[in-house]
């Protein structure tokens, strides 16, 4: 039903009616100044509430779809903005990276639905102009990612202390969480104590995470270069020649993984920028009967400035001939963007055997040569 298929009006009404208390709580929560999740103390703390966040977002989307089917376009747009705001609050909830990832996913769900509503629903041009302005409040994903990384750092420090104090090798520590830990052998205790330098390891983590947090506020082309994780020598003979080898193993398991959040931040901020531009383009076309020759025509009546591509910090690209907005993406090369059909063909070539409907073209995937947003009106 959320995908616009097999809409069942009676079932939608039943679900929405049964969840009235949930909607009341969501409305109460969105009225608060900010939102914060419980503190996570280890990287393995269970955080079941993130699944509830996803379910709440899906309920909110169902409410929006119900309004759209009843031709209440303005109300549907308003409720979709609630989904975007909800995702933004979760991004900034001072949880770990998983919490931030769930928030950006929910925000993306709202943005994708908003782009569909702009095509399908009757919404006054003045309302769309206001929406393009309001979306700027939720464009920033860098602040939430910085919060998540600070939380990640504290969890990593606790992990290092636990591994050192228990004498358990990292893999045994992981498998024992929540259960009675196994008694480490003399060799395991000796290995951890000899080849894990807690303060040195904490210093490595602090230096890297501090640098990643600095990169959060930058565009992709200005990030610090990050090395690819390499294999750490394993086994006593090699360990004897490797200072702090256990600490470096922990570092190389964690740091390369969390640097991926930086490119996701760029994708999310560019997704908001593209959605703002699409909303403004629809308002422009409703008033003038045509699409602009360049995005500059939208300024200042529809947008204060042309939205930026967070990958290189330059104005978002626009092709009126192809009817697309596009980003230079991770490779920072402008190849002219792709129509939806061109993007699907590229994706199928990269993923042989997969059906075309699996291609993530709206929103576009991170690895597309030029992630593009179609203008379908």
Number of H helices, E strands in the chain: 13, 3
Q: How high does pLDDT run on average in the chain?
A: 89
Q: Looking at the predicted structure, is the pLDDT value of residue 105 above 60?
A: yes
Beta bridge partners of 324: 319, 374
Q: What does the alpha-carbon distance between residue 368 and residue 347 come to, in Å, rounded to a whole number?
A: 8
Has residue 278 got a pLDDT over 70?
yes
Alpha carbon distance 268, 14 (integer Å): 33
How many C-alpha atoms does 148 have within 13 Å on its Cβ side? 26
* Assigned token pair, 211: 């640098």
Q: What is the DSSP letter of 40?
A: P
Residue 141 buriedness (CB in 10 A; 0-12 / 13-18 / 19+): buried
How many whole angstroms from its chain centre is CA 324? 22
Tell me, what DSSP letter sits at residue 92?
T
Q: Output the pLDDT for position 162.
A: 82
Residue 237 clears pLDDT 80, i.e. is over it:
no
CB 289 within 8 A of CB 252: no
Count of beta carbons in the 10 Å neighbourhood of residue 174: 13
**pTM for this entry:** 0.90
Confidence of residue 374 (pLDDT cuts 50, 70, 90): very high
CA distance 76 to 113: 10
Tokens of 329: 């993406």
pLDDT band at 236 (very low <50, low <70, confident <90, very high): very low
């Amino acid at each position: 039903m959320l995908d616009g298929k097999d809409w069942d009006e009676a079932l939608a009404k039943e679900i929405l009616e049964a969840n009235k208390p949930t909607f009341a709580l969501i409305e109460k929560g969105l009225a608060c100044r900010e939102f914060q999740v419980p503190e996570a103390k280890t990287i393995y703390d269970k955080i079941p509430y993130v699944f509830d966040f996803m379910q709440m977002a899906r309920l909110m989307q169902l409410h929006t779809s119900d309004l759209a089917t009843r031709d209440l376009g303005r109300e549907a747009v308003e409720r979709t903005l609630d989904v975007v705001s909800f995702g933004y609050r979760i991004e900034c909830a001072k949880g770990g990276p998983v919490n931030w990832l769930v928030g950006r996913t929910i925000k993306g769900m709202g943005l994708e639905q908003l782009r569909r509503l702009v095509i399908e629903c009757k919404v006054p041009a003045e309302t769309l102009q206001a929406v393009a302005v309001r979306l700027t409040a939720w464009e920033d994903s860098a602040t939430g990612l910085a919060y998540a990384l600070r939380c990640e750092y504290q969890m990593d420090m606790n992990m290092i202390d636990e591994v050192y104090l228990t004498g358990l090798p990292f893999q045994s520590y992981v498998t024992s969480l929540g259960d009675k830990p196994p008694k480490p052998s003399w060799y395991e205790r000796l290995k951890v104590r000899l080849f894990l330098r807690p303060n040195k390891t904490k210093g490595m983590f602090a230096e890297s995470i501090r640098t990643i947090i600095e990169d959060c506020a930058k565009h992709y082309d200005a990030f610090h270069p990050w090395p690819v994780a390499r294999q750490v020598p394993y086994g006593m003979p090699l360990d004897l020649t490797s200072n702090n080898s256990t600490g470096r193993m922990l570092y190389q398991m964690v740091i390369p993984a969390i640097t991926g959040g930086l490119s996701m931040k760029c994708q999310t901020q560019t997704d908001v920028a593209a959605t703002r531009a699409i909303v403004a383009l629809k308002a422009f076309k409703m008033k003038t009967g045509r699409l602009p020759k360049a995005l500059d025509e939208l300024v200042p009546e529809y947008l204060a400035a042309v939205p930026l591509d967070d990958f290189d910090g330059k104005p978002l690209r626009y092709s009126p001939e192809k009817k697309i907005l596009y980003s230079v993406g991770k490779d920072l090369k402008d190849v002219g963007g792709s129509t939806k059909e061109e993007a699907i063909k590229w994706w199928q070539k990269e993923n042989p055997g997969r059906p075309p409907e699996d291609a993530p073209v709206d929103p576009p995937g991170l690895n597309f040569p030029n992630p593009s947003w179609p203008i379908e009106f």
